[in-house]
Amino acid sequence: MGVLPFHPDSCADFLTSDELHRIQLHRLQTVVRASYEHVPLTRQRMQERGVKPEHIRSLADIAALPFMQKTDLRDTYPYGLFARPMSDIVRLHASSGTTGKPIIVGYTRDDLNVWTSVMARTFSAVGLNQHDVIQNAFGYSLFTGGLGAHYGAEALGATVIPISGGNTERQIMVMQDFGVTAICSTPSYFLHLVEAVEASGRGFGNLNLKTGVFGAEPWTDSMRAHIQSRTGIKAYDIYGLTEIIGPGVATECEQQAGMHVFEDHFLMEIVDPKTGKTLADGEEGELVLTTLSKQAIPMIRFRTHDITSIITEPCACGRTIRRIRRITHRCDDMMIIRGVNVFPSQIEAALLEVEPTLPHYQIVLSRKEGLDQMEVRIEVTEAMFRDKVSALEQLQKRMEHAIEHVVGLRVNVRLVEPRSIARSEGKAKRVVDQRKEG
Ligand code: AMP
Ligand code: ZN
């Protein structure tokens, strides 16, 4: 059987702008009405501003609607933003919140169908089809990466290997023996695999691998160049976030020149992160997304905290859905470590639980053999410093344990001498990021 150039669902990537805008407006009106009727927080905020669903007559009218934030999910934990009864919810996922509790998102059957569809369009855009064998090394868990990529790859008709993250030796064995042609993972984990393959004396030359689909954390064009030249594969950037759907919000195409946003499902705006004012196309600012078709948790004007800009020129691939530039950083203090979201506030809370009068600490991020490492340096007080070594060791272990318990990552705690962490005049510099590219 011949191969279609695209998955049938990819038709929506090529709509005329008139068609796209008609679909967007109709969906926006529907989602705003559903939120107004079923989500008390949204209704209350719209009422405070005197906005009613019928006031949304054009796409530009979205600017009248209030923003939503990650903290809204935290404050209404667990199900306060759900617009559908639990009997309609067929799946839950979760992601780190700013405190110890995660944020929870739900999906209806239709939501899962949309997710599968945008992920099939993602794989199709990077040139994959039913002849591909895809090793899915995104984590299968509460994290959206694993299952999101899984169902998209199946819908594409490709062969999926649900290996999940970790276990590097097995990943390499599978890549080699199963004839893997494409892999999905975080870019840093793939770099770790590359180093492990090279360390074992094997090369990429005799593997079938030709495509990498990487996302869930920031990376750079120079990291891409590094990956591509060492492995001979083409490495693509994909973008998504739990609050909106998971992976499948935006993807690069074979041009590797910015990520096409699936605008028929996600309406994008770029705003000034400080004032919230809408910026013109092409200007850099915070990406704000509205889910146009999501039923379980409609997100209206969600502040992603991701910094990017809209590419206004048409793409050589012919897709009409617009692109955003690579996301290199966030405008809040969320760190992404081995694909896991971590806030300094979580670390602080964990440390305070162990030692209520904690003075100064600093989080140092580095990269070793392609893997992110986190060290938390903590100044001990003079009194503690005079304690027995064994007491200090115990304190260190307890702190490591407390942090691991809250953020789910193993970290190194290093107790340092009093006054050895540099003081700053203004805000304390809590995070030192020494992760180098590549
Ligand atoms: P999560 O909800 O745990 O999947 O985390 C979503 C966050 O991961 C986003 O808001 C971004 O900050 C980050 N992220 C996901 N994909 C990318 C990407 N391709 N480039 C940069 N950051 C990304
Ligand atoms: Zn393109």
Residue ID of nearest Cα to ligand 1 atom 6: 241
pLDDT value of residue 438 = 44
Ligand number, closest to the Cα atom of 334? 1
Which ligand 1 atom lies nearest to the CA of residue 334?
12
- Å from CA of 5 to ligand 2 middle: 14
241 lines ligand 1 (CB under 6 A): yes
pLDDT for the residue 5? 83
Ligand 2 centroid from CA 255, angstroms: 6
Ligand positioned closest to the Cα atom of 307: 1
Q: Which helix (H) or strand (E) holds 269?
A: strand 266-271
- Looking at all shown ligands, the one closest to residue 305's CA atom is 1
Of 114 and 188, more confident: 114
C-alpha 215 to ligand 1 mean position (Å): 7
Among the listed ranges 90-104, 183-197, 233-247, which one has the minimum average pLDDT value?
90-104
Q: Tell how far the Cα of 183 is from the centroid of ligand 2, in angstroms.
A: 20
- Kindly tell me if the per-residue pLDDT of 437 is higher than 60: no
Residue 427 has a pLDDT of: 66
pLDDT tens for 38-74 read: 999 999 999 999 999 999 999 999 999 999 999 999 9
Closest listed ligand to the CA of 287: 1
Give the atom of ligand 1 at the shortest distance from the alpha carbon of 305: 10
Most confident of 167-181, 217-231, 354-368: 167-181
| Cis peptide preceding 418, ω within 30 of 0 | no
Is the CB of residue 242 below 6 angstroms from any atom belonging to ligand 1? yes
Measure 240 CA to ligand 1 centroid, in angstroms.
6
Helix crossing, 144-156 with 109-125: angle to 10°? 70
pLDDT of residue 76: 95
DSSP 190-213: HHHHHHHHHHTT--STTS---EEE
User: How far does residue 185's CA lie from ligand 1's centre (Å)?
Assistant: 12
pLDDT tens-place string over residues 223-249: 899 899 999 999 999 999 999 999 999
Q: How far apart are CA 269 and CA 42, in angstroms?
A: 19
Q: What is the pLDDT of residue 72?
A: 96
pLDDT at 199 over 80: yes
Element (H, E) at 390: helix 389-407
Q: State the pTM of this model.
A: 0.91
Ligand 1 neighbour 341 (Cβ under 6 A):
yes
Distance CA 188, CA 208 (A): 21
Handedness of CA 166, 170, 175, 180 (dihedral sign): negative
- Cβ of 237 less than 6 Å from ligand 1: yes
Say if ligand 1 is within 6 A of residue 218 CB. yes
Q: Measure 305 CA to ligand 1 centroid, in angstroms.
A: 10
Pocket test for ligand 1, best of 189, 213, 241, 244 (most atoms within 8 A of CB): 241
Ligand nearest to the CA of 121: 2
**Distance from residue 327's CA to the centre of ligand 1 (Å):** 8
Predicted confidence at residue 425, as pLDDT, reads 66
Residue with tokens 């107004």: 36
Ligand 1 site, residue 286, Cβ cutoff 6 A = no
Is residue 263 a contact partner of residue 250, using CB atoms and an 8 Å limit? no
Q: How far is the CA of 51 from the centre of ligand 1 (A)?
A: 31
Give nearest CA residue, ligand 1 atom 23: 217
Q: Is 336 in the pocket of ligand 1 (CB under 6 A)?
A: yes
